[in-house]
């Protein structure tokens, strides 16, 4: 926390960087709204039963003060347009700016979700065409764009699997879902939300699924297997055809976590591998990086036998054009208020059409090449837990730095001093001191070289001056936080500093 002093309004303020509420003053204001041309009515009458307060402490600031404040915040935030962002398993790739311009076109940006089918033909065409191209890319029968994120897509896919088992009279018996120990945390979470049980099976020494363990776990109570391909070690499951064959033989369905689809587009179709359902993080694979809390979208692709269970309404061709069909007696119902995060769907369709099939395959090949370049370049400096060629991301280990008292977390913090976002650390859980690095296809060789040289320098620093890493970062707006205290003493809303003697300032 920086030096604090009293402002004219009596509030404490930070001299180094002020909150918006610490700026401005009485009478500061932005554009003036026109006079109300309808009779004013009391809020209590318009919002009966609402917990209304007589006074609220809003900041009073002018337009320039607001603009300066948010411009400053934007420069403090690390994002893909500012620097390298190798956050493994998150696919933080460049988003072509023309996609933003297309999504902002008034005919798309201002389309009202409650407008009727005749007035929504353009928006429905975007959804319909995107669903078709996603089905073609993944090798599935059809796609729903409703889920608003990958995790919701997982839930949607599992709900359709449950509906399918119930339709066959096996819904009460099949309640176990098998996942490998390298799975994303959302997989068991989705299973738990459905009231089912997760069964975890180990990976073998090569980072692949242990087929013997899978066979042992399968049985008449298995509802599904959930696999990520390529897996979170960045390795393609070479025996994935055996996985889906064994699962189907046991009467289970095969769910593919599509978080790593960026490695497969144009090269491998998950539907051809025997999967029955998958979600697609279009905000990862087809631009729209999601750092900073931006919206995502998680369309779900299904094989033909799961098509009756899709969420309603389904967009389909009708006599008068495209329409929303509700006539789906086996549907699992709605999973989103409308058809998903529409602006993200527009960007995804633009990205796919812009690249075309040859371009999408080139994207995957380049992402794989970049990841393997970093893997081999850094394998002599950091430990390589599995000596396999990787797909679009690689996993290294900082275990060899323990002899200097340095952890992977210290490496991640030191990286920030070089203008690089840290890789994913301590995941997957089956790798000690894991560093999961995903460069993506949109980074140049020059940028990869810079990152590799920084990683090598940090390894040297660990041996020569370990305290330098333990105190990092040194050049960011805030120094290293006390993460343990932050987790124990959550502060989820702003409080007036010093308003109560016993209260600590909100920013500490």
pLDDT tens digits, one per residue of 401-456: 999 999 999 999 999 999 999 999 999 999 999 999 999 999 999 999 999 999 99
Alpha helices in 49-194 (DSSP H): 63-76, 97-103, 106-109, 121-138, 150-167, 186-193
Q: Are the beta carbons of 428 and 233 closer than 8 angstroms?
A: yes
Phi, psi of 35 (to 5 degrees): -60, 145
Answering whether pTM is above 0.85, one says: yes
Tokens of 323: 């329409």
Q: Which whole-number Å values give the CA distances from 380 to 72, 182, 383, 418, 455, in the listed order? A: 40, 24, 7, 21, 11
Phi, psi of 377 (to 5 degrees): -65, -35
Q: In tens digits, what is the pLDDT along the chain, a chain of 508 residues?
A: 456 665 555 556 666 788 888 888 889 988 888 999 999 999 889 999 888 888 887 889 999 999 999 999 888 888 888 899 999 988 999 989 999 999 999 999 999 989 999 999 999 999 999 999 999 999 999 999 999 999 999 999 999 999 999 999 999 999 999 999 999 999 999 999 999 999 999 998 888 999 999 999 999 999 999 999 999 999 999 999 999 999 999 999 999 999 999 999 999 999 999 999 999 999 999 988 776 556 889 999 999 999 999 999 999 999 889 999 999 999 999 999 888 899 999 999 999 999 999 999 999 999 999 999 999 999 999 999 988 999 999 999 999 999 999 999 999 999 999 999 999 999 999 999 999 999 999 999 999 999 999 999 999 999 999 999 999 999 998 889 888 898 898 888 777 766 654 444 444 3
Q: How far apart are CA 130 and CA 99, in angstroms?
A: 14
Residues ≥6 apart with Cβ < 8 Å to 246: 211, 214, 215, 218
Q: If residue 177 lies in a helix (H) or strand (E), which one and from where to where? A: strand 176-180
Q: How far apart are CA 208 and CA 204, in angstroms?
A: 5
Say if residue 85 is exposed, middle or buried (CB neighbours under 10 Å; 0-12, 13-18, 19+).
buried
Say if residue 161 is exposed, middle or buried (CB neighbours under 10 Å; 0-12, 13-18, 19+).
buried
Torsion over CA: 328, 332, 338, 341 (sign): negative
**What are residue 226's DSSP bridge partners?**
255
**What are residue 437's DSSP bridge partners?**
87, 394
Say if residue 392 is exposed, middle or buried (CB neighbours under 10 Å; 0-12, 13-18, 19+).
buried
Tokens of 328: 């789906």
**What's the full length of the chain, in residues?**
508
**What are residue 321's DSSP bridge partners?**
318
Residues ≥6 apart with Cβ < 8 Å to 143: 130, 131, 132, 134, 135, 280, 299, 300, 301, 302
Residue among 185, 207, 228, 150 nearest 375 (CA): 207
Q: Are the beta carbons of 448 and 439 closer than 8 angstroms?
A: yes
Q: How far apart are CA 101 and CA 63, in angstroms?
A: 25
Q: Are the beta carbons of 382 and 396 closer than 8 angstroms?
A: yes
List strands edge to edge, sheet with 176-180.
142-144, 300-302, 277-280, 253-258, 222-228, 176-180, 197-201
Q: How far apart are CA 14 and CA 3, in angstroms?
A: 6
Reduced to 3 states (helix: H, G, I; strand: E, B; else coil), residue 194 is: coil
Tokens of 433: 């001191």
Q: What integer pLDDT is reported at residue 3 of this predicted model?
A: 60
């Amino acid at each position: 926390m920086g030096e604090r002093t009293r402002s004219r309004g009596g509030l404490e303020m930070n001299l180094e960087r002020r909150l918006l509420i610490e700026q401005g003053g009485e009478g500061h204001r932005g554009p003036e709204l026109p006079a109300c041309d309808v009779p004013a009515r009391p809020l209590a009458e318009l919002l009966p039963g609402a917990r209304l307060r007589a006074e609220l402490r809003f900041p009073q600031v002018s337009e320039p003060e607001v603009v300066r404040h948010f411009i400053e915040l934007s420069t403090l935030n690390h994002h893909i347009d500012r620097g390298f962002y190798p956050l493994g398993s998150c696919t933080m790739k460049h988003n072509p700016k023309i996609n933003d311009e297309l999504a902002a076109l008034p005919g798309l940006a201002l389309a009202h979700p409650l407008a009727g089918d005749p007035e929504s033909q353009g928006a429905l065409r975007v959804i319909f065409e995107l669903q078709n191209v996603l089905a073609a890319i993944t090798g599935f029968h059809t796609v729903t764009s409703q889920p608003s994120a990958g995790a919701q897509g997982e839930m949607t896919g599992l709900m359709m699997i449950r509906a399918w088992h119930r339709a066959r009279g096996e819904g009460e018996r099949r309640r176990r879902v098998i996942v490998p120990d390298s799975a994303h945390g959302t997989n068991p979470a989705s299973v738990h939300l459905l009231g089912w049980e997760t069964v975890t099976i180990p990976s073998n020494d090569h980072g692949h699924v242990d087929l013997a363990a899978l066979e042992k776990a399968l049985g008449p109570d298995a509802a599904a297997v959930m696999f990520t391909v390529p897996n979170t070690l960045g390795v393609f499951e070479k025996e994935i055809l055996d996985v889906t064959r064994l699962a189907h033989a046991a009467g289970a369905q095969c769910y593919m976590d599509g978080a790593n689809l960026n490695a497969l587009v144009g090269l491998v179709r998950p539907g051809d591998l025997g999967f029955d359902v998958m979600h697609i993080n279009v905000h990862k694979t087809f631009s729209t990086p999601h750092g900073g809390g931006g919206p995502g979208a998680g369309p779900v692709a299904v094989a033909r036998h799961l098509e009756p269970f899709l969420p309603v309404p389904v967009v389909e061709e009708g006599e008068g054009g495209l329409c929303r069909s509700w006539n789906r007696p086996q549907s699992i119902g709605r999973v989103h208020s409308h058809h998903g995060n529409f602006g993200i769907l527009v960007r995804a369709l633009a990205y796919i059409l812009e690249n075309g099939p040859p371009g999408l395959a080139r994207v995957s090949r380049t992402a794989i090449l970049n990841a393997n370049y970093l893997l081999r370049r850094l394998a002599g400096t950091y430990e390589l837990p599995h000596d396999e060629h990787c797909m679009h991301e690689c996993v290294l280990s900082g275990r060899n730095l323990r002899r200097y008292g340095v952890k992977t977390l210290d490496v991640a913090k030191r990286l920030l001093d070089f203008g690089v976002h840290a890789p994913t650390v301590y995941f997957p859980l089956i790798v000690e001191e894991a560093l999961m690095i995903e460069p993506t296809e949109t980074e140049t060789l020059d940028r990869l070289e810079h990152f590799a040289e920084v990683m090598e320098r940090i390894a040297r620093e660990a041996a020569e001056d370990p305290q330098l890493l333990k105190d990092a970062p040194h050049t960011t707006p805030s120094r290293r936080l006390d993460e343990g205290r932050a987790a124990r003493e959550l502060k989820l809303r702003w409080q007036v500093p010093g308003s109560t003697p016993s209260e600590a300032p909100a920013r500490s």
